[in-house]
Amino acid sequence: MPPTLSKPVDQFELNKLMRARAEALTSKFKELGIPLQCLYTSWEDAMRAFGCSHGPNITDVGLVFRNQAGREGSAETFGFKIRSANFNEIILEIDARIFNIVVCDPDAQKPRLVTLAFALENAGKLFKHCGLPEDCNLYCPELDNGKVKLGLDIIYAPQGEKKEGEEFAQKEFSMTGYSYQGRDGNARNITLWAHPQGTACADDGNGKQYLRPQVYDEAKKELSSFWVEGEDTGKSVKDMHTETQAESQAAADRGKGTAVRTGMNNWDRLPNIFHSIQIPRVQDRPAPVRQPISAPVSYASTAAQWNNAIPAAKKAKGIGGSPLAAPFNEGEDGEDGEDGGGNITYRSLAAPAPPSAVTSARLSRGSYAGVDPGVKSKTVVRAKEPIRIQSTLVFMLSSEEPPETAAVKDTWAVVQRMVKLAGEAKELMDPDAGLTTGKPLTEEDAMDIADKQKEHPAPPQVPDMPTAPIVGMVTDELVAVA
């Protein structure tokens, strides 16, 4: 039998299982004509160079899940995000004055809704406890009022386990980022990580950075990081926007995140969305003068599928014998999941397990993850470059099988609707879209990228500590509009 997340398995098996799931899910997208892919690394940059995976401000963004308590081996399992293609992603241009995020006091109390423009203009006041200079203003009206780049993606997370005394199953995860241009104290970006309970602030630097919720302890003068907790709401994809005020209040009383209308003004109130906001910083070294060595590439058009209705799904094929049936096969070497050459294969079952049901998550601060470095750069000046936002919807899977077809189509319909409400979907590599503002990659750029420093080791495991409780809950009323 294939390894499962409900039994202790080693790190290799866990990562192998996730790869197989990604392959199965990607096959389902292709079968349904949905232009989404499962990506372990998302290339996030509003300044991408034509014809290249890198650009003048590229950040590799990934996902790790916290393994079950007591599991042997590493503390993390790699996950994947589901989004448009890295080489030719779908992007929208939006206005920071109509994009909303939740901010709170340094101790994570008094959550309230503000526009991104307001948060940028008042960044020093809102995030001084994270290390920003008190007079820091990250607002650039000529770019932020209509030229912010927005992408949407999805996470399908394992449902997780019910903790003792808890009503709902939970799974903890973290986003990670690696900036090829960032160095400790000389960051390329300031990142705001906005979630239903507030917004974290940090800069990039050497190695892998964790994008996590933060809480400042005034007595200790210490900024703490927390895992993100995805709690299963039990609501289907179609019903995820139906949280009542009573349900929100009950969640707030338990110290959990509530459904809030973050993102675009016309998006639904949701408990399962977060936003990673990449704000370019002027670095303390001059940009090198370089000769271009790249040229624009051709692109395959996919924007029509985002701007139009869901394409008619191909007639469903029989599950038996399909690679969607289950993620592993008994390979020629006798081990699940590999053939004789060590390649991932699939297990063909006459009576496959039923597909996984999909429900929405409730995002909250989870277990304590250690001291947060916050912003290490002493000077922070906004670079005259566009902001990049990646908005992510998180869903829970009831089993280890690929999700049911109807839920996949429902998820795609939700993403399409959110895209349409935000603006016109454009393709990154369409020369007429005007999205790719970065110059072609140069030989010296490539050398800089090749000089990638060693990633920081994973933080040591520490005992859990209580999360800061939420006082009240967020309303839809903006407290200030820039």
First to last CA, the chain: 58
AA letter at 307: N
Over 50: is that where the pLDDT of 370 sits? yes
pLDDT at 152: 97
Over 60: is that where the pLDDT of 296 sits? no
* Bridge partners, residue 101, by sequence: 114
Tens of pLDDT, residue by residue over 193-223, are 999 999 999 999 888 899 999 999 999 999 9
Find tokens 């050398």 and name the residue: 447
Q: What tokens appear for 432 in the block? A: 């007429």
Between 61-75, 143-157, 437-451, the lowest mean confidence (pLDDT) is in: 437-451
* Bridge partners, residue 90, by sequence: 427
Over 80: is that where the pLDDT of 428 sits? yes
Q: Where are the domains of the chain?
A: 88-316+349-426
Find tokens 């590493």 and name the residue: 74
Over 80: is that where the pLDDT of 320 sits? no
Long-range contacts from 106-109, C-beta under 8 angstroms, 24+ separation: 106/215, 106/216, 106/218, 107/215, 107/216, 107/217, 107/218, 107/468, 108/197, 108/198, 108/213, 108/215, 108/216, 108/365, 108/468, 108/470, 109/468, 109/470, 109/471
Where is pLDDT greater, at 328 or 243?
243
Where is pLDDT greater, at 99 or 324?
99
Over 60: is that where the pLDDT of 110 sits? yes
Longest dimension (CA), the chain: 65
pLDDT-above-70 percentage for the chain: 71
Segment 454-461 mean pLDDT = 44
Between CA 54 and CA 446 the distance in angstroms is: 9
Segment 67-74 mean pLDDT = 55
Over 70: is that where the pLDDT of 356 sits? yes
Tens of pLDDT, residue by residue over 81-109, are 999 988 888 999 999 999 999 999 999 99
Over 80: is that where the pLDDT of 479 sits? no
Tens of pLDDT, residue by residue over 161-182, are 777 777 788 999 999 999 888 8
Where is pLDDT greater, at 97 or 307?
97
